[in-house]
Amino acid sequence: MAIIELDQVGVRYGGVQALTDVSFTVEEGSITGLIGPNGAGKTTLIDTLTGMTSYTGSIRYEGEAIDRWAAHKRSRHGLVRSFQSVELFHDLTVRENMQVYADRHGIRNRIRNFRKGAGTDESIEEALDLFGVGWTVDRFPGDLPHGIQRVVSIARALVSRPKVLLLDEPAAGLEAGETRELAEHLRAAVEKLGVTVFLIDHDMDLVLGHCETVHVINFGRWIASGTPQMIREDPAVLQAYLGAPATVPAGSEEGAR
Ligand code: ATP
C-alpha cells in the first residue's frame, strides 16, 4: 500500500521552477530512495512532504490529502525528517537531545526544563540501541566522533515514533563501512518499528544497494522510478548523470529487497 502519493507536485521559488509535475508513490514499510544531480530538487521535495514550502499539485498521506496541513501537523501525524547537518545541541547529553525531539510540541519549554529532571523515555534507548549507539546516551555530542553524531541525529528522529522517516543525505560525511552499518540499522528500524524510510543521498552505494525502489528527478522533473537494477540501466538516468554509465556505479545489491 502506498503511504505517500505525490500527484503533479510543483514548486516555484521566484524565477526558479524547482519542481515541475512530480508524481510518484512511496510504499509503506519500504526503504525508498530519491536521487538526482545537484540542484535537481531533492531537498525541495522533502520540504513539500514536511510542509516547509508551498507547492502546487497534491500530496496524499495514508490516503488523505494533506496539502492544507501545516508542518507541525504533518510531523505530529508521523511525517518526520532529519536534516543534512547534524544539529545536535552540544550542551545537552544525547539523552536530553532525544528528549527535546520527543516532545516536539513545546520545544522551548522542554529545553528550559531539562535540568529539572525530565523523565526518561523508553523509545530513546530503543532508538539508540537500534542504531548501535546506546552507549552514547549519557555523553555530550561534542565528545563523540562525527560519524557517531550523525547516527545519533538520525536515531533521534525515531524517538517520536514516526511513520515515515524522511532522511536528507544521511550518509554525508560517513565512511563506506559506516554507511553500510547505517543501511543495516535503517532496515532494522523498518522491520522492528514498522517505519517507512524515504531518503535522498548522493551515495549511490547506499541508495542503489539498500533501497527497494528508487525515484529519479532531474531539473525538477521526474525521469525514472524502479528497482536499483532498473535505475542503473535506465537511459534517461544515465544521461542525467552526465551521460556516463560509470557515474551510476554498480554498487552492492546486498541488503536490497
Ligand atoms: P543538492 O543535491 O545540491 O542538495 P537538490 O537536488 O536537493 O540539490 P534543491 O536544494 O531542492 O536541490 O534545489 C532545487 C532548485 O531550487 C535549485 O535550483 C536551487 O537553487 C533552488 N532553490 C532551492 N531552495 C531555494 C530557495 N529557498 N530560494 C530560491 N531557490 C531555491
What residue numbers bound the domain in which 225 lies?
1-78+162-242
Q: State the total domains in the chain.
A: 2
**Which atom of ligand 1 approaches the CA of 47 most closely?**
11
Contact (CB, 8 A) for 167 and 82: yes
Cα 126 to ligand 1 centre (Å): 35
Same domain flag for 150 and 170: no
Q: 60 pairs with which residues across the strands?
A: 5, 65
Cα 20 to ligand 1 centre (Å): 13
Question: Global pTM?
Answer: 0.86
Which residues of the chain fall below pLDDT 70?
A: 84-86, 102-121, 242-257
- Residue closest via CA to ligand 1's atom 2 equals 38
Give residue-wise pLDDT tens across range 114-138. 433 333 467 788 889 999 999 999 9
**Which atom of ligand 1 approaches the CA of 217 most closely?**
6
Strands (E), the chain: 2-13, 16-27, 31-35, 56-61, 64-65, 79-82, 164-168, 196-200, 213-218, 221-226
Same domain flag for 149 and 166: no
Same domain flag for 71 and 167: yes
**Which atom of ligand 1 approaches the CA of 220 most closely?**
14
| Residues shown for the chain | 257
The pLDDT value recorded for residue 228 is: 95
Residues with CB under 6 A from ligand 1: 13, 16, 18, 36, 38-44
The pLDDT value recorded for residue 257 is: 36
Same domain flag for 51 and 31: yes
Same domain flag for 206 and 229: yes
How many CA within 13 A on the CB side of residue 26? Answer: 29
Same domain flag for 180 and 192: yes
Cα 219 to ligand 1 centre (Å): 10
The pLDDT value recorded for residue 107 is: 52
Question: Looking at the domain assignment, is residue 247 inside a domain?
Answer: no
Question: Looking at the domain assignment, is residue 213 inside a domain?
Answer: yes
**Which atom of ligand 1 approaches the CA of 44 most closely?**
11
Using CB atoms within 10 A of its CB, is residue 109 exposed (0-12), middle (13-18) or buried (19+)?
exposed
What's the CA gap between 48 and 32, in Å, rounded? 17
Grid coordinates representing 170 are: 544521511
Cβ neighbours of residue 77 closer than 8 Å, sequence gap 6 or more: 61, 66, 69, 163
The pLDDT value recorded for residue 83 is: 72
Cα 39 to ligand 1 centre (Å): 5
- Residue closest via CA to ligand 1's atom 26 equals 13
Same domain flag for 187 and 215: yes
The pLDDT value recorded for residue 242 is: 58
The pLDDT value recorded for residue 122 is: 75
The pLDDT value recorded for residue 205 is: 87
Residue from 9, 11, 13 whose mutation best tests the ligand 1 pocket (most atoms within 8 A of CB): 13
Using CB atoms within 10 A of its CB, is residue 251 exposed (0-12), middle (13-18) or buried (19+)?
middle
Same domain flag for 172 and 204: yes
**CATH number of domain containing 36:** 3.40.50.300
The pLDDT value recorded for residue 109 is: 47
**Which atom of ligand 1 approaches the CA of 202 most closely?**
2
What's the CA gap between 149 and 155, in Å, rounded? 10
Same domain flag for 125 and 168: no
What's the CA gap between 75 and 163, in Å, rounded? 10
Residue from 11, 16, 81 whose mutation best tests the ligand 1 pocket (most atoms within 8 A of CB): 16
The pLDDT value recorded for residue 104 is: 53
Cα 35 to ligand 1 centre (Å): 13
What's the CA gap between 134 and 154, in Å, rounded? 13
